[in-house]
Structure 1
Amino acid sequence: MREFATPSNPTFVPSVNLTADVIRNATEAPTTAVFSRPGADGWSDVTASEFHSEVAATAKGLIAGGIKPGDRVAIFSKTRYEWTLLDYAIWFAGAVTVPIYETSSAEQVQWILEDSSAVALVAETAGHVAKAEEAKAASGSSAQVWCIDTGAIDALVVSGSSVSDADLETARTSATGSDPATLIYTSGTTGRPKGCILTHANFDSEIDSVTVELGNLFEEGRSTLLFLPLAHVFARAIQVGCFRARVKLGHSADIKNLMGDLAVFRPTFILAVPRVFEKVYNTVSQRAAADGKGKIFNTATDTAIAYSRSLDTGRTGVALKVKHALFSRLVYGKILTALGGECTYAVSGGAPLGERLGHFYRGIGLTILEGYGLTETAAAVTVNSPQAQKVGTVGRPIAGATARVADDGELLFKGGMIFAGYWRNETATAETIVDGWFHTGDIGEIDDEGFVRITGRKKELLVTAGGKNVAPAVLEDRLRANALVDQCMVVGDGQPFIAALVTIDPEALPTWAAAHGKTGGIAELADDPDLLAEVQKAVDDANKAVSHAESIRKFTVLTDAWTEEGGQLTPSLKLKRAVVMREFKDDVDALYA
């Protein structure tokens, strides 16, 4: 199929702007807990009425500080309640939110401040303030800087006491649906990040469609714990969707405390990028192996996958049901308990999850609804739903969206969630939106039921010396499923065969080493025959997914780690291929020597 459209939601009534949700919730359900925030005495609820009051008071402080409708205000912080509070306060002031990843360097902050012409920045910590001041000095920016950790919110509330309700209402209603709500700078796998203009109407269309598609998740009384960066459009859309649907939202910024927060918060659904689900599976697998229960866990894994596949065919044999019930008590229940015990759904995006993991999690009782989208599509433009799911795909286009496969295989989309363009970059906008169609840069296909499958990146397709087109993602997803593999990159453009660079998971290595009587770190074990044999197993498994001409013939294990801090990964954990190719050129050349 070349094109598939999903009709718009007939009950959708566009709001003037996103602040309408704050007013509506406070009016219709003032005592409903819409947020929960951690404190010294545990989690405490924030009602719709309380949130409205806090947002209004903070917005008045922004107005008193000189923020005018249309101004850009940056938030430089990790995920926390104050991030969401400030987001809505900026909108109440009629301004535009500019997220900055909390891990950004001073140089990255400088570029965003310069390009967006932000007039103010709210930083989280003293360290963030220092980076912001360095960025300001380098760019000549005069942006005001407030610091959350030193009482910025309280100070804004005090300074805003002189602003009248009438002046606040004038500012709040100044933005229309076609006005920018946010400028989100793409994480930039190549070149400088571009600012994506997402309007209030973009988010309005996105949230209305997604909350209908995922109705089982977005029901009042349900909850989720947000731990992805709110600077990323995926988390941001969930934030807005949860608040609109009055799904209680909690924030957990420190990944080290995540498991403890999940146990206490007990969310009914979670969202994460595939790497999180991979890490959870690999950690459990490694622990089982260390406890001498590796074979049992492997059998439990195979059973879960087989059980999930049987759900698609409608043929679940008695023997499989018995095995599944046994492992539900012995294995699966423990994994679900670690997620809080109430979680039955998860939403995955940002990269392909992989069919095997999708079936595993559904088989243990956690249905992962995989979707697809970009910053330019205000998050999901396709998604699997509880009512219509096909593991291994990214679902159907959401309500109001149309998907098309171009002649060269590129996926194109239309719909109300498609961004307004790149900030002050008409050339890039014209190259990306052609005749009303957004060109994603991804290669994919649409099956006869409208389900979309991503097969690779247009710019990442490798063409071997023999003329074979190879999509790296298929191989890389399978490779990373191995507990020992942290990151990998398939290479071979213009070369006689396909090869791979592999890095080892620093958390999994000690457990593996102890189980095999080894000592030392990756520097000592990179050439160990047993470790290489383990990676070869992962390569052999990955090669099952492709033809012989596309298969990995050689690999090398690197002693370096690829990280966001090191510059090889984006904040959303996507691989910066150009950076890796540049930094590890000698290793790639050695594969073909």
Structure 2
Amino acid sequence: MPTTKTFKTVPALYNYLVEDYGPNADHAILKHKIDGVYTDISYKQFKEETESFAMGLASLGIKRGDKVAIIGENRPEWVYSDMAILGLGGVDVPLYPISTSETIEFILTNSEAVGIIVSNNFHLNKVLKIRENCKQLRFIIVMNEVELTEPNVFLFKQVQEMGREFAKENENHFQDSIALSHENDLCTFIYTSGTTGEPKGVMLTHKNIMSNVNAVHEIIEIGPSDLFLSFLPLCHVFERMAGYYTALSSGAQIAYAESIEKVASNLIEVKPTIMTAVPRLFERMYSKIIKGVEASPAKKQKIFKWAVEIGTSYKKAIKTEAGVPIMLSLKHKLADKLVFSKVREKTGGRLRFFISGGAALARELGEFFDAVGVLILEGYGLTESSPVIAVNRPYNYKFGTVGQTMPGVEVKIASDGEILAYGPNIMKGYYKNEAETQATIKNGWLHTGDIGVFDAEGFLMITDRKKSLFKTTTGKYIAPTPIENLFLGSKYIDQFIIIGDRRMYITALIVPDYEAIKEYADAHRIHYDDPKELTQMKQIYEMLEKDLTQFQRKLANYERIRKFTILEQPFTIEGGEMTPSMKLKRKVIEKRYTNLIDEMYEGKN
């Protein structure tokens, strides 16, 4: 059964873990790679590491209300830092590891952070570059063992040693601080710029975040036998709430992936039961599966297609009153043995479900994975809502929707279709930005900026971002995301964005899947010296044009793509065309490719 234990603050959760639950636990709390081997961290070590670091921060003068930034990949020291800062009554300010020096400077200055904890030399150098401009910044702490030459820069282990000395004279300091924690205290500032604008510091209280954690436990059964694989950035509120606080509060273990590139191998090594992810991961998994099938003999391709059809029929039958016919059940068992079990092996073989967030999951993708026995539960929320507003349940889910609303959260649809949310998870506001706060929260209701509708069973469907909707010169309103998700079903397409605001018709910029188009070129004896040459070739354009036709049939005439341009370079976070949660920044892309876009409307290809 779901846990009945609820927590008002993160420090309360910490105390429960190290004082009540941990001493009797028969498993580790965290796992991470050391010298190529996953190594356990016990609850005892977790307590010692966190409290010595907390005492070290106290010796550096950290007190209630102080802001301390963290920049680093997912690793145990991130968690020790978070628990230490919050236990002292501080407010932590997480930053993405990809943040530039300019972004770091803005956030450190705006948040008035007095210290920053960085992962390695790379991040240290970025901070040192702008340190003099951050007047409030008193110290920098480095998690890795690096050579230090600058004043007031400390190693993580040095601070822990300072903490042990501090504890000799102030033994109860950390526990006394934890006792003062209150649910309405500020917990964290999470800076978000979304797809437009200057970063805004979202102020979340302990109540905001922990209400979301407690709500998850009301609807999803998670327990000590569960193991999470964590790869989404901990600085993102989705991973922090779902893959960190929710996991630990249920007594589950967390294993940290080595990197995004190694997630596939880490899945097989760790054998997780639950994992949070973004649609991009499933798109790549699907693409890899389909490529593998297409490279197989015709007989195996036929078996795979048959198995997916059986899996789809089986899943539909489960939801009917009549249930699953005996013959279909027998066919499903055979399909599972021949096909589905091999797909599940790629996830480690123990996975109960993925939780998908951050962007829209294509209905077809969810249905495919469900058919082969890999359940993806899509949810919806914003940083401003800590983050989950709605989510599908393992026992009650519907693809193409983001599920039903979370316990304790109210949702209504405004007259213009905008989703409004109200509840204990709604942010306190944007730090030092009253105008944006008042524009976003009105009478306690968060104006999400998303357009949506409820179906007859109370499942929420997201149409698009309010700001993303556009109108063609023919007067037709277009919601780009569903159209883009449709075309992402092509094995030849890696990224896809449509253009058409105040234009006569719809066009698109396409980033091809280079492996797929190389295979096509090789099979059709199309000569090229560099794969990027393929983007300029007439044969590839015509092949893509023909491939798009199968998707165009599903669209209204005014939604169809009239022309497209194939790009050489992918959209990236580093390039500024994507947000850290992998959403495309439309305005940035449209500005960057203005000339190519204009050519499509001048009758040129």
2:144·2:156 contact (CA, 8 Å) conserved in 1? no
How far residue 11 of structure 1 moved from its aligned partner, in angstroms, is 6.7
| Bigger Cα displacement from structure 2, 139-148 vs 380-389 | 139-148
Who is 2:132 aligned against? 137
Does the CA contact (< 8 Å) of 2:359 and 2:581 recur in 1? no
Matching residue of 2:281? 276
* Inter-CA distance 86–342: structure 2 relative to 1 (3 Å threshold): same
| SS of equivalent to 1:416 | coil
What is the SS of the residue equivalent to 2:130?
Answer: helix
Equivalent in the alignment of 2:31: 36
Could you tell me which residue of structure 2 aligns to residue 223 of structure 1?
227
Aligned-pair distance for 1:252?
1.1
Q: What's the counterpart of residue 341 of structure 2? A: 333
Q: Is the contact made by 1:479 and 1:538 (CA closer than 8 Å) also made in structure 2?
A: no
Match runs of 1:454-493 below 5 Å = 454-493=462-501
Q: How many residues align?
A: 582
Indicate the residue corresponding to 1:496 in structure 2: 504
**1 CA distance for matches of 2:15 and 2:253?**
17
Query: 2:93: which partner in 1?
Result: 98
Deviations 1:365-422 (A, max 9, x none): 1111110011011121100001221121100011001111100000000111111111
Alpha-carbon contact 2:229-2:270 (below 8 Å) kept: yes
Amino acid at match of 2:412: R
User: What CA distance in whole angstroms lies between the structure 1 residues aligned with 2:116 and 2:185?
Assistant: 20
In structure 2, the partner of 1:357 is 365
Residue in 2 aligned with 1:168? 174
Q: How does 1:432-443 map to 2 (within 5 A)?
A: 432-443=440-451
Aligned equivalents of 1:515 and 1:255: distance in 2?
Answer: 31
Structure 1 residues 542 and 213: alpha-carbon distance in aligned structure 2, compared to 1, 3 A threshold: farther
* Change in 2 beyond 3 A, CA 1:397/1:50: same
Q: Partner amino acid for 2:11? A: T
Partner of 1:205: 211
Alpha carbons of structure 1 residues 511 and 230: separation in structure 2 relative to 1, 3 Å? farther
Q: Distance in 1 between matches of 2:81 and 2:474?
A: 55
**Any conservation in 1 of the 2:493–2:512 contact (CA below 8 Å)?**
yes
CA distance in 1, matches of 2:246, 2:527: 49
The whole-number CA distance in structure 1 between the counterparts of 2:60 and 2:360 is: 44
Among candidates 356, 370, 379, match of residue 371 of structure 1: 379
Q: Residue 65 of structure 1 aligns with which residue?
A: 60
Instruction: Give SS of 1:38's match.
Output: strand
Q: Against the structure 1 CA distance between its residues 316 and 128, is the aligned structure 2 distance closer, same or farther, given a 3 Å change threshold?
A: same
Assess, with a 3 A threshold, how the Cα gap between structure 1 residues 38 and 246 changes in structure 2: closer, same or farther: same
- 8 Å CA contact 1:187, 1:572 repeated in 2: no
Task: Answer yes or no: is the 8 Å Cα contact 2:269–2:348 preserved in 1.
Answer: yes
Structure 1 contact 304–361 (Cα < 8 Å) conserved:
no
The answer as to whether partners of 1:69 and 1:174 remain within 8 angstroms in 2 is: no
Change (3 A) 1:193 1:516: farther
Alpha-carbon distance, 1:531 to partner:
3.0
Shift of 1:307: 3.6
Distance 1:450 1:298, change over 3 A: same
Q: Which residue in 2 is equivalent to 1:6?
A: none
Distance change >3 Å, CA 515–CA 138, structure 1 → 2: farther
Distance 2:85 2:112 in 1: 16
Aligned to 2:15: 23
Q: CA deviation at 1:467?
A: 1.0
Q: CA distance change for structure 1 residues 224 and 318 in 2, over 3 Å: closer, same or farther?
A: same
- 1:119 aligns to what? 114
1:425 matches 2:429: no
Distance 1:545 1:410 in 2: 26
Q: CA separation of 1:518/1:144 partners in 2, compared to 1, >3 Å: closer, same or farther?
A: farther
Inter-CA distance 284–10: structure 2 relative to 1 (3 Å threshold): closer
**Partner residue of 1:4?**
none
What secondary structure sits across from 2:501 in the alignment? coil
Residue 159 (structure 1) aligned with residue 167 (structure 2)? no
Whether 2:241 is the aligned partner of 1:237: answer: yes
Partner of 1:254: 259
8 Å CA contact 2:354, 2:377 repeated in 1: yes
Partner of 2:151: none
Seen in structure 2, the aligned counterparts of structure 1 residues 46 and 304 have a Cα distance that, compared at 3 Å, is same
Give the alignment's TM-score, normalised by structure 2: 0.91
Q: Does 2:196 match 1:190? A: yes
Offset from partner CA, 1:446-498 (integer Å, 9 cap, x none): 11221100011100101011111110000111112222211111111111111
- The letter of the residue matching 1:174 is L
Q: 64-73 or 50-59: which moved more?
A: 50-59
Q: Amino acid of the residue matched to residue 219 of structure 1?
A: G
Shift of 1:303: 4.2
**Superposed displacement of residue 295, structure 1:** 5.4
RMSD over aligned Cα atoms: 2.2
Distance in 1, matches of 2:308 and 2:505, equals 33
Report Cα offsets for 1:290-341 as digits up to 9, x if no partner: 3445555455444444443443445656665455434322322222111111
Give the structure 2 partner of residue 587 of structure 1: 596
Residue 556 (str. 1) matches residue 548 (str. 2): no
Cα distance between partner residues in 1 of 2:216 and 2:487: 31
Taking a change above 3 Å as real, the CA distance of residues 308 and 552 of structure 1, as seen in their structure-2 partners, is farther
Superposition deviation, residue 590 in structure 1: 1.3
Deviation (angstroms), 1:564: 1.0
Equivalence for 1:5 = none
Cα distance between partner residues in 2 of 1:169 and 1:396 = 39
Q: Secondary structure, in 3 states, of the residue corresponding to 1:459?
A: coil
Deviates more, 1:138-147 or 1:446-455: 138-147
- Residue identity in the other structure for 2:238: F
The structural deviation recorded for 1:509 is 3.9
Q: Please give the alpha-carbon distance, in whole angstroms, between the structure 2 residues aligned to 1:193 and 1:544.
A: 40
Runs (5+) with no aligned partner, structure 1 = 1-8
The residue aligned with 1:568 is 577
Answer yes or no: is 1:308 the counterpart of 2:315: yes
Amino acid at match of 2:468: E
Query: Is the alpha carbon distance of 1:116 and 1:102 closer, same or farther for their aligned partners in structure 2, counting shifts above 3 Å?
Result: same
Distance apart, 1:48 and its partner CA: 2.7
Structure 2: which 5+ residue stretches go unaligned? Answer: 147-154
1:155 partner amino acid? Q
For 1:461 and 1:174, the matched residues in 2 are separated by 47
Percent identical pairs in the alignment equals 34
Q: Identify if the C-alpha distance between structure 1 residues 507 and 452 changes in structure 2 by more than 3 Å, giving closer, same or farther.
A: same
Distance 1:444 1:341 in 2: 35
Change in CA separation of 1:296 and 1:350 when aligned onto 2, cut-off 3 Å: same
Deviation at 1:545, TM superposition (A): 4.2
- Distance, in Å, in 1 between the alignment partners of 2:160 and 2:96 is 25
Q: Residues 278 and 356 of structure 2 are in contact (CA less than 8 Å); yes or no, is this contact kept in structure 1?
A: yes
Q: Give the structure, 1 or 2, with the largest relative contact order (CA under 8 Å, sep 6 or more).
A: 1
Residues 266 and 342, structure 1, Cα contact 8 Å, conserved in 2: yes
Q: Secondary structure at the match of 2:177?
A: helix
Task: Classify the secondary structure of the residue corresponding to 1:555.
Answer: strand
Determine the C-alpha separation between the residues in 2 that align with 1:539 and 1:533.
10
- In the TM superposition, residue 540 of structure 1 has moved relative to its aligned partner by 3.1
- The answer to which of 248-257 and 391-400 deviates more is 248-257
Q: Secondary structure at the match of 1:19?
A: helix
Counterpart position of 1:387: 395
Rounded Cα–Cα distance in structure 2 between residues aligned with 1:587 and 1:308 = 45
Task: Check whether the contact 1:268–1:344 (CA below 8 A) recurs between aligned residues.
Answer: yes
Q: Distance in 1 between matches of 2:546 and 2:24?
A: 56
The letter of the residue matching 1:79 is N
Partner SS state of residue 142, structure 1: coil
Q: Which moved more, 1:52-61 or 1:123-132?
A: 52-61
| Greater displacement, 189-198 / 306-315 | 306-315
